[in-house]
Structure formats: C-alpha cells, structure tokens
Amino acid sequence: MARKEELARMWERTLEFLYNQRPAFEREGAGGYKPGLDTSLALDKLYNEPHRRYRIIHIAGTNGKGSTAHLLASCLQHCGYRVGLFTSPHFIDFRERIRVNGRKISRNFVMQWVAEYRQKELNGFEPSFFELTSAMAFDYFAWRNVNVAVIETGLGGRLDSTNIVTPDLSIITNIGLEHQQFLGNTIEEIASEKAGIIKHGQPVVVGNAEDSVRKVLEDRAKQLYSNIRFAQDKPEVLDAKYEDGMLRLQTANYGTIDCELIGDFQIENANTVLTAFNILKRLKYRVKENAVREGFATVVETTGLMGRWMKLGTDPLTICDSAHNVASITQAMKQLKKETYDKLHMVMGFMADKDINGILDLLPRKATYYFTQAHTTRALPVTELKEIALQHGLKGSIYNNVTEALDAARKAALPRDVIYIGGSMYVLAELLQAIGYDDKLES
C-alpha cells in the first residue's frame, strides 16, 4: 500500500512538472501559446531525432482532426502495423495523448522520461508543456518500435511543435475561423498557417476547402512540388445512412463500411481518410480493404476515442459531443435535428476565447438550458454566459459544474426527451471524469 501511495505521489509530481513548464494552451489560453520551432528542434536533437525512425502521417485542420487521426490509426493497426497515435487534448488522463496500438503510454515511462529530462541540459530554451509532450511522444514511439505514427497538430500548423517532422503524407481536414489571435484574422491567413505542414515533394490530402482557401493550399503545394488531392473532388463515400447504431457508408473502392462514429460530420472525415488510403497505397503501404472496414467498425474500441457524438444513456437519450466552435457546432446542431424527442435539454459551457455570439446564434431556442463552466481560467464565467445567452433568446439556469447541471437535466427530463452536453472539450472532460468513464485500453 505504501509503495502504491508513493507511486501516486510521484505521478502527481510528474504531471505538475509538465503542466508548470509553461501552462498548456488548453488550460491557460494565450499564456500557454508558444509559436516557433527552435525549442522543438533543440529537444529533437537532445533525443537523437527519434521521429526519423518511423513513418509519419501528419494531420492539421480546424475540425475533424481527432476523428480522422483515430480512424487512420485504427485502420492501420488492423492492416498489421504497430501504430503510434499522438493527439490532444486529453479528456481524463494525460496518457490519452500518446498511444501505441490504442494503449496509453505507461505511467512508468512518463515518470522515468521526465526524471531523465530533468537531468539533461537544454541551454537557452524553456520548453512548453506541449513541446515537452511532443518530444516525449516522438521518443516513446521510437522506443516502442512503431512502424508508423499518426501525429495531430496542436494549434495551427506552420509553427506547431509537431511540425519538425517530414511525413509520408500530410492531411488538412478543413479550414474555418479559429484562434484568430494566433493564426490570422481571415480564413485565408488561417489556411496559410495550416498549409505549413505541407512538405517539399510529399503528398497532401485536403478533406474540404472552398474558393480562396483552396487557392491558398494549391499555391503552397505548387511551391513545394507537393501533389495535392482534395477528397471532395472525387468522393470515396457515395452514400450514407444510419443502420443498427452505425453509420453505413457505400464507398467507391472499399465496399460497404460500417463506421462506429455517428454523425453526418463523420461522412466528411471518412471521405478524407479513404482518400488518404488511396494515396498510402501508392506509397507502398500495406492497405487491405477488409482491414480498413474493420478499422472503421471498431475505432472506439481499437483506439479509445471519446467524446464524438457519444451516447451516455437512453430514456432519455443522453448525448455528449466535443463540438466547440462555430463550424463544429453547426454540424452538431444539424445532427441534433435528426433526433426525435418531446423536449430538448442543453447542458452547455464554453471557453471565453471562442466566438460565443456566433455559437449561441446556432443553438435551438426551444430548449431548456443548463449553463455551466469548466474549472479552467479559459472558461467563460457561467454568469456571463447566461447574460449573453438571454440576448440570443436562450433561457435557463446556472450551475457550478457540469455534474450539477447534468443532474438537474436528468431530474427534469422525461424518457422521450433528449439531453445534449457540449460546448467545450473541457466540460466533457470533467463530465467523463465525474462519471468514471475510461476507455479501458490500459498499458
């Protein structure tokens, strides 16, 4: 028992060290944002450039990065590869960010890596939380001898800590207005930042891009002699419908695919992933159609994905979703309209740096709201949220945390109602932690 308690204290001290290096952007907002690659390159050199020991697929975009990354990783794993997966943020456990074949990085590795890092010298550099985490992931994947790593950018692309890699394939899911204070005030400027992951002579797949955004990406690819493919131009997904709790896709080259991820927005992600596999075939990846189908059908179980149109209960149907900006909330509300219910109960909390007015404009007026906030300095205070919501015709009560808000919604809801929880990944994180949810893919 004493040994277990000591390990628990060591783990907490390790996490405290990581978080306090420089606050993580997702916890502290602008104070945790650190653009530039000099520190990441120095860390990479310190660990003998571990990312050069395996193949890489690099993913950027405004929405769908996480789902796309998990789908790719699941399919590649079923194709027989040992797959590293690096994503952010985490919901419950820091270790969710770094996985090999779906299993989270071990606590022992994290603690040992941090302890050894603290003995090293990185003169002149002060790594941020995300820079250290990225370096840890790259080193862990090399230590675990992965064949391929699927790497999701944190924020942006060009100056993101992960952008020291030269991938076999870059993927940009889509471009929308987000983080304008860091990435640019126009969608074209943001597209230029995302396009920074395109590498010389390496192919790139774009999920969806229109007009001026498309031109920015095409121009960047042309400058770098990179073959660019837009998944929307020649769709792999020909038809989609819901059957037996799955999203059933009819595809051009992979037959009928049952996707475990529900939501119309997953059709675009699926189209992007399948287009990417067409390119990976040309790059001599071992792609098997039946393995791709299996990867789609078991992505949650295989990779531990959480928070994407996730069903938490029935009677009343209770759904949580990680949509948190205008583009993703638009898709989530379209999906919500497909549900049949008597009354709608919305448990919502947001980060203060989002386009709150733009998001609230999208939310249904005929719903009862349970306003809350996550316990982070980035959160929009719940009292302020209620005031702004009233200006948009949204009425409800305020609650100190998401657990209280959900409890109130459940007490008020009848079996034929629907409860939706969302607005922020951090609201979801606190909810999933409170209910004791875990993906059960332990190392």
Strands (E), 297-357: 310-313, 317-320, 344-348
Q: What is the pLDDT of residue 129?
A: 92
The first and second tokens of residue 33, run together, are 């944002």
Q: What is the pLDDT of residue 29?
A: 45
Q: What is the pLDDT of residue 442?
A: 56
Q: Which residues of 372-389 are buried (b: 16+ CB within 10 A; e: fewer)?
A: bbbebebbbebebbbebb
- State which H helix or E strand residue 103 sits in: strand 103-104
Contact present, 163 and 37 (Cβ < 8 Å): yes
The first and second tokens of residue 177, run together, are 């207005």
- State which H helix or E strand residue 267 sits in: helix 265-282
Q: Looking at the DSSP assignment, which residues form a beta bridge with residue 317?
A: 418
| Torsion (CA) 130, 133, 137, 139 in degrees, nearest 10 | 120
Q: Looking at the DSSP assignment, which residues form a beta bridge with residue 228?
A: 204
Residue 70 and residue 279: Cα distance in Å, rounded?
18
Which pLDDT tens digit goes with each residue over 107-151?
999 999 999 999 987 878 889 999 999 999 999 999 999 999 999
Tell how strand 368-371 and strand 396-398 pair up: parallel
Residue 2 and residue 6: Cα distance in Å, rounded?
6
The first and second tokens of residue 111, run together, are 């603690």
**147 alpha carbon, distance to own chain's centre:** 22
Give DSSP secondary structure letters for 179-226. -HHHH-SSHHHHHHHHGGG--TT--EEEEE--HHHHHHHHHHHHHTT-
Q: What is the pLDDT of residue 24?
A: 47
Q: What is the pLDDT of residue 33?
A: 47
Q: What is the pLDDT of residue 4?
A: 84
Contact present, 308 and 321 (Cβ < 8 Å): yes
**DSSP secondary-structure letter at 378?**
T
Taking CA atoms, 121 is separated from 17, 20, 112, 125, 442, in Å, by: 16, 18, 16, 9, 32
Q: What is the pLDDT of residue 185?
A: 62
Q: What is the pLDDT of residue 146?
A: 98
Per-residue pLDDT of the chain in tens (443 residues, 90 and over written 9): 678 888 899 999 999 999 887 544 444 444 444 467 999 999 999 999 999 999 999 999 988 999 999 999 999 999 999 999 999 989 899 999 999 999 999 999 999 999 999 998 787 888 999 999 999 999 999 999 999 999 999 877 888 999 999 999 999 999 875 544 445 468 898 899 899 999 999 999 999 998 889 999 999 999 999 999 999 999 999 999 999 889 999 999 999 999 999 888 899 999 999 999 999 999 999 999 999 999 999 999 999 999 889 999 999 999 999 888 898 899 899 999 989 999 999 999 999 988 899 999 999 999 999 999 999 888 999 999 999 999 999 999 999 999 999 999 999 999 999 999 999 988 999 999 888 876 655 54
Q: Looking at the DSSP assignment, which residues form a beta bridge with residue 230?
A: 206
Q: What is the pLDDT of residue 441?
A: 56
Residue 441 and residue 102: Cα distance in Å, rounded?
7
Q: Is the dihedral of CA 430, 177, 363, 381 positive or negative?
A: positive
Q: What angle, 0 to 180 degrees and rounded to 10, lies between the N-to-C axes of helices 129-143 and 38-46? A: 30
**Measured in Å, how far apart are the chain's first and last C-alpha atoms?**
21
Q: What is the pLDDT of residue 344?
A: 98
Instruction: Count Cα atoms within 13 angstroms, Cβ side, for 2.
Output: 0
Which pLDDT tens digit goes with each residue over 381-437?
999 999 999 999 999 999 999 999 999 999 999 999 999 999 998 899 999 988 887
Residue 293 and residue 259: Cα distance in Å, rounded?
8
Report the amino acid identity of residue 413: A
